[in-house]
Structure 1
Amino acid sequence: MRYQILPSDLYIHNRQRFVKEMKPGGLAVFFSNDIMPTSADGTMPFKQATDILHLTGADQEESILILFPGAHNPRHREILFVRETNEEIAIWEGAKLTKEQARELSGIQSVHWTTDFEKILHTLLAEASSIYLNNNEHTRASIEVETRTARYNKWIRETYPNHEIDRSAPIMHRIRAVKHQHEIDQMQRACDITKAGFERVLKFVKPGVMEYEIEAEFAHEFLRNGSRGFAYTPIIASGFNACVLHYIENDAKCHEGDVILMDVGCEYGNYASDMTRCIPVSGRFTDRQKAVYNAVYSVMQDCMKLLRPGVSLHDYHREVGELMTKQLLDLGLIDKHDVEKQNPDWPAYKKYFMHGTSHFIGLDVHDYGLWHEPIQAGNVFTVEPGIYIREENLGIRLENDIVITNDGYHDLMGSIPLEADHIEEIMNS
């Protein structure tokens, strides 16, 4: 593989945390993603389902995991199924995991071919009283296709209607929210590669370049450093485009005097990074652009200080709103009357800062986490305040990824140029 494989003790640790939350008699099953078709004989690049990846490290299609901690036979307490390889597959697609490789990767000793799954599951369910089925229960998920997990879940419910069904998702959300040091190290690699891409772009940008040319510079640096590419569809938004929150066309020319908002991050070993930086096309911010930039920078620094173990995310976002309100008052974008008459459900600052400030990040860019529970050490968040002034063709957002520690935080992107003066210095060196 092009990325550094994480040690099997991570996956052993993750499975131990999962089974600790299971009810007696429960059997849990997890499925890989499909390779999705496009048209004709085309397919999309394979992207593994992150829950089975988190529990096994198996970055391969047609993989299945069974966890059955109460099984009478110790060899049945965790079983990994992988696609059987052969000479023809090795010639046309490349060799798949052998059973020995799967054992070494996952730390699971009982490895079978996927073709044995239904027979073995049938035998084990004679002992089990309930089945933990996994679903994508992310609050922002919108799924219009039938996934491999959905197909198998339907089959299990129909074939074993008398077994109690439990949900794996609440457990996965809990254990994935707190990152192991191995995961943090992988995310740091992703952030370091993102830094290399940004520094390359700072030397490249000048009036007249196209947004997609900047995207290409990032892609070049990401791929040459072992990443498979962007962790999400990149936003390279110059001028007014920066005021469109999910602008992804990246097809406009960058004009002198404009600011470019770049929301990009590479993935490394399936772990995401998520960075936003804003730079002046001409190499120098105007006084007004720098004032707005510094206002966002100030909010960002204060946001990081607010994220601590025990803090409520609801209270955090309320406090961020108060910080942003002060900055918008200082910039003259709102006045005291706007604040006094504001709708509590849509405060005055929302006119210029309409999105959330932080989200969980990990194997998914918008990772699973416990929004209703206090922040814990080991949570990893983005911090991304912004100000969008459509009438000035100016959008500024700044974003870093931070790990919550027992006594504060560690900024995974702390070495990436951020301050306005530093950006100008590099662009003009």
Structure 2
Amino acid sequence: MMPAGAVHADRRARVLAQMPPGAVAVLGTAPEVMRNGDSPYPYRHDSYFYYLSGFAEPDSVLVLVAALDARPARAILFCRAKDPDHEIWDGFRYGPDAARTAFGFDEAYPVDELDHRMVGMLSNAPALYYAPGHSAALDAQTTGWLKGVRALGRTGVTAPATTHNLLMLLDEMRLVKDAHEVDLMARAGAISAAAHARAMRATRPGMIEYEIEAELLHEFRRNGAQAPAYSSIVASGPNACVLHYIANDRRILDGELVLIDAGCEIDGYAGDITRTYPANGRFTAPQRTLYELVLRAQAAALAAVRPGQPYSGIHAAAVRVLTEGMLDLGLLDKRKVGSVDNAIDTRAFAQFYMHGTGHWLGMDVHDVGVYRDLALSDKPSRALQPGMALTVEPGIYVRPADGVPEEYWNIGIRIEDDVVVTDTGARILTDGVPKDVAEIEAWMKAAR
């Protein structure tokens, strides 16, 4: 496996290879945002910028210049100047010279020189690749650079004739993970699984949801993860029927289920796991019935994760199992919805299962990449290929309603794992926490 610096240099080379000779690409990182006074929010780099640079400091811009004639391609970093006085207050910063060496850039300069140098680099460049709408500040700077180049028109200098959305190119690259990325995602998955296992063991009726959240956060940090990959969901009882519930402030009652949807981020890559289990360690009969239905749906969906198969087949497999179960259990009235096929065609199942069965996963928990093959006129679901990473997360959510059997009211269940498509099928990255009924009950009994 290549070292991290070589991985990022290889990605930059792949971008440059897709640009015409002499073209210029510009990409900035995320800004530092103040929370109040002089206290910023915890800083998190821009995913696209980090994907190409491996550099995590704010106030940074990456410029790529494609080779032209005898002039080689260049990767140029603009970053904060070295400043010992600021480092006393805010910590280490690389500065251009050290950053160039440490991260394998061809050139590096203080970010204060960006505007001046960009006018020169864009002069006579045939094309500009940037990220329109991604950063209002960088959009304004780009407009200023182009105006500066056009002002030199009387001297024979020309501005780029075409502009291209750099993010569309990067989305396709990021969609297929390399070995370095899969390794990081496996670590994120393992840490996230350990956190879920810890939370499951710690749960007792009478606790407040945020106490369980604290167990997750403890396990994330003690294993080296920098932060949660998203706001953790710890939803008990009826809260489990709220898909993105994050208040986490309800007291957990005896006999209820607890749904946890949480994952950590490590070195820029996300884990994303959901488990549902009984607070007292024992499923009731209705809870078990619905849980095992969702587990069967997940097994069917996982079996559909194969190279060459359409992404949409994952959802279709889960929906069929869930819909059959809804009809068998009386959640859906056969007299009203008819056959399984009709219930699927009319989306009758959406009363109890209203979301998709997964999403791309990577640097962002809902990662980039289109789900359809845009190269074909009818834009079918795109085929899975080795290296794609995604979640598989069917669920069922039963809110009180007329005609719905009361024993299932306020039961929400979701089971989610992270997978990477391989040459022969799928590798599950998050199997370190139990999900079979017998395993969960035995695990929780042993912890008491």
TM-score, normalization: structure 2? 0.88
Pair 1:111–1:80, CA change in 2 (3 A): same
Pair 1:257–1:98, CA change in 2 (3 A): same
Whose Rg is larger?
2
Q: Which runs of 5+ in 1 are unaligned?
A: 138-145
Displacement of 1:411 in angstroms is 0.3
Q: Which residue of 1 aligns with 2:440?
A: 423
Q: Which residue of 2 aligns with 1:140?
A: none
Q: 1:57 aligns with which of 35, 54, 57?
A: 54
Pair 1:53–1:135, CA change in 2 (3 A): farther
Cα distance in 1 for partners of 2:366, 2:254 equals 34
Asked whether 1:217 is paired with 2:226, we answer no
Pair 1:231–1:295, CA change in 2 (3 A): same
Displacement of 1:356 in angstroms is 0.7
Aligned pair count?
417
Asked whether 1:389 is paired with 2:378, we answer no
Between 1:119-128 and 1:268-277, the stretch displaced more is: 119-128
Q: Which residue of 2 aligns with 1:11?
A: 8
Displacement of 1:312 in angstroms is 2.2
Between 1:55-64 and 1:81-90, the stretch displaced more is: 81-90
> In the alignment, is the contact (CA less than 8 A) between 2:30 and 2:44 conserved in 1?
yes
Between 1:63-72 and 1:88-97, the stretch displaced more is: 63-72
Pair 1:85–1:192, CA change in 2 (3 A): same
Deviations, residues 344-369 of structure 1 (Å, cap 9, x unaligned): 77511111110011101111001111
Q: Which residue of 1 aligns with 2:299?
A: 301
Displacement of 1:119 in angstroms is 2.4
> In the alignment, is the contact (CA less than 8 A) between 2:300 and 2:317 conserved in 1?
no
Asked whether 1:399 is paired with 2:408, we answer no
Displacement of 1:41 in angstroms is 2.3
Cα distance in 1 for partners of 2:278, 2:433 equals 17
> In the alignment, is the contact (CA less than 8 A) between 1:238 and 1:254 conserved in 2?
yes
Cα distance in 2 for partners of 1:274, 1:286 equals 27
Between 1:367-376 and 1:241-250, the stretch displaced more is: 367-376
> In the alignment, is the contact (CA less than 8 A) between 2:205 and 2:254 conserved in 1?
yes
Deviations, residues 236-285 of structure 1 (Å, cap 9, x unaligned): 00000000111110000000000011000011111100000011111111
Q: 2:169 aligns with which of 157, 168, 171?
A: 171
Asked whether 1:39 is paired with 2:36, we answer yes
Cα distance in 2 for partners of 1:157, 1:63 equals 20
Pair 1:159–1:166, CA change in 2 (3 A): farther
Between 1:360-369 and 1:193-202, the stretch displaced more is: 193-202
Question: How does 1:124-143 map onto structure 2 within 5 Å?
Answer: 124-135=121-132
Cα distance in 2 for partners of 1:75, 1:88 equals 37
DSSP 3-state at the match of 1:416: coil
Q: Which residue of 1 aligns with 2:425?
A: 408
> In the alignment, is the contact (CA less than 8 A) between 1:33 and 1:148 conserved in 2?
no
> In the alignment, is the contact (CA less than 8 A) between 1:136 and 1:169 conserved in 2?
no
Coordinate RMSD, CA, aligned: 2.1
Amino acid corresponding to residue 430 of structure 2 in structure 1: M
Displacement of 1:74 in angstroms is 4.4
Q: Which residue of 2 aligns with 1:67?
A: 64
Q: 2:144 aligns with which of 119, 138, 155?
A: 155
DSSP 3-state at the match of 2:108: strand
Q: 1:376 aligns with which of 369, 385, 401?
A: 385
Q: Which residue of 2 aligns with 1:287?
A: 285
Q: Which residue of 1 aligns with 2:191?
A: 193
Displacement of 1:125 in angstroms is 1.4
DSSP 3-state at the match of 1:223: helix
Displacement of 1:85 in angstroms is 1.6
Displacement of 1:70 in angstroms is 2.4
Cα distance in 2 for partners of 1:132, 1:424 equals 55
Q: Which residue of 2 aligns with 1:115?
A: 112
> In the alignment, is the contact (CA less than 8 A) between 2:133 and 2:139 conserved in 1?
no
Q: Which residue of 2 aligns with 1:314?
A: 312
Q: Which residue of 1 aligns with 2:377?
A: none
Between 1:289-298 and 1:64-73, the stretch displaced more is: 64-73
Q: Which residue of 2 aligns with 1:352?
A: 352
Between 1:286-295 and 1:65-74, the stretch displaced more is: 65-74
Cα distance in 2 for partners of 1:300, 1:90 equals 50
Runs of at least 4 residues of structure 1 off by over 6 A?
none
Q: 2:23 aligns with which of 23, 26, 39?
A: 26
Amino acid corresponding to residue 130 of structure 2 in structure 1: L
